[in-house]
Amino acid sequence: MQNVLEAIVLIILFLFKIRDLVAQNFDLPLSKRWRWLIYNKKMQDPVLCSRVYERVQLFNVTESRKSIIERLLVMDAKHVKYFPDGFFYRGKYSSEIRSQYFINTLEASYVEEDLNIMTIAIRKLLSDSNLEYVDFVLFIKNGNQILAQNIFSNDNTIIYICKIDGHSSYVPQGEHVPIDSYSIQYENLDALLHAAQARNNDRNLTGVAIDCSISTGMGLKDSIKHFNQLLDQNRNLRINKIEHAFILYCHQNFDDDSIPFKLHRYFDMDEEIREMIYKEIALKDNKGAGARKVYEKLKEKNRIHNDK
């Protein structure tokens, strides 16, 4: 009798396993009357394969930070512009930063070699951060979308955009605004919400913010702040607040105490560093020697970030 009961239990467990495999990998055209037999309540509309949102294998980049920084400096020298009369790095809600040297990392992302360097650099930061999961990435509307998509080109991480420009369409945040209405200002938000609804384990979705570089950092700070406020108003969502942001560098010495998240980066610039990139690398034949010289200056000024 005991053997019969054990056999029945094993058969039932086997059937449940088959059902789970079908539910996670196929969207069967069943009517609502029978759909509950295969899909649990959270998966019924729409059905999303939970396997798509399994652990992201973060990147194991073995290249040293010093080597990556020197390569970034050589890359910057290819895209630095000199303005004798100066120009301003302008933050939307903060003071301007006057400079004679503009480094266009967005322009660099259109050059395959430079895009690969930036991709490796951000992947190194992600790997060193010891984050176990990255399910989605936030970047601001005027950020480097090309870089963000290239970093996660080979997995199922959700990429979405946060609009923070007041001239774009937006929904004012409030307690009575349906969460999916925010897809107006958070492009691809629907995919993120569906992924959160389809969770069938104990882990919430974890996201990070990514950009190539920042000047004042207000755009990045505001986008993370607004997103986390949205989660505060919808605590039932299985989505963690964003606590980590990844960039290549800051265009000025950045105050980490001014932000409520961890900003991972390689170094902070100033006008002297930008001038050296232009004069010691861009105008010289031996780019490597110039990059090493700028690296030593960054080190001397205590502008290199090695923290994790």
Confidence band for 45, pLDDT divided at 50, 70 and 90 = very low
Of 223, 228, 144, 137, residue with least CA distance to 185: 223
Task: Write the pLDDT tens digit of every residue in 224-252.
Answer: 888 888 888 887 888 999 999 999 999 88
SS3 80: strand
- 264 Rama class: left (phi>0) / alpha (psi -120 to 50) / beta: beta
Q: Where are the domains of the chain?
A: 2-47, 65-300
Least confident of 37-41, 99-103, 179-183, 267-271: 37-41
Asked if pLDDT for residue 173 goes beyond 70, the answer is no
Name residues whose C-beta falls within 8 Å of residue 29's C-beta, 6 or more positions apart in sequence: none
- 31 Rama class: left (phi>0) / alpha (psi -120 to 50) / beta: beta
**What CATH number matches the domain at 65-300, 1.10.3080.10, 1.25.40.10, 3.40.50.2000, 3.40.50.2020?**
3.40.50.2020
Name residues whose C-beta falls within 8 Å of residue 25's C-beta, 6 or more positions apart in sequence: 49, 51
Task: Write the pLDDT tens digit of every residue in 128-169.
Answer: 887 888 888 888 766 677 888 888 876 667 776 666 555 455
Is residue 101 a contact partner of residue 80, using CB atoms and an 8 Å limit?
yes
Least confident of 19-33, 188-202, 236-250: 19-33
Predicted pLDDT at 155 = 62
Q: Rounded to whole angstroms, how far apart are CA atoms 23 and 155?
A: 21
Q: How far is CA 169 from the centre of its chain?
A: 23
Q: Is 306 exposed, middle or buried (0-12, 13-18, 19+ CB in 10 A)?
A: exposed
Q: What does the pLDDT average to over 159-182?
A: 59
Asked if pLDDT for residue 100 goes beyond 70, the answer is yes
SS3 257: helix
Q: Rounded to whole angstroms, how far apart are CA atoms 32 and 138?
A: 35
Model-level pTM? 0.75
Confidence band for 54, pLDDT divided at 50, 70 and 90 = very low
Asked if pLDDT for residue 92 goes beyond 60, the answer is no
- 188 Rama class: left (phi>0) / alpha (psi -120 to 50) / beta: left
Asked if pLDDT for residue 307 goes beyond 70, the answer is no
Question: Which two tokens mark 122?
Answer: 């951000």
**Long-range CB contacts (< 8 A, 24+ apart) of 88-91?**
89/215, 89/216, 89/251, 89/252, 90/215, 90/216, 91/215, 91/216, 91/217, 91/218, 91/219
Q: Rounded to whole angstroms, how far apart are CA atoms 213 and 250?
A: 6
Asked if pLDDT for residue 255 goes beyond 60, the answer is yes
Asked if pLDDT for residue 117 goes beyond 70, the answer is yes
Task: Write the pLDDT tens digit of every residue in 201-219.
Answer: 667 888 999 999 988 788 8
On average, the pLDDT of the chain sits at 78
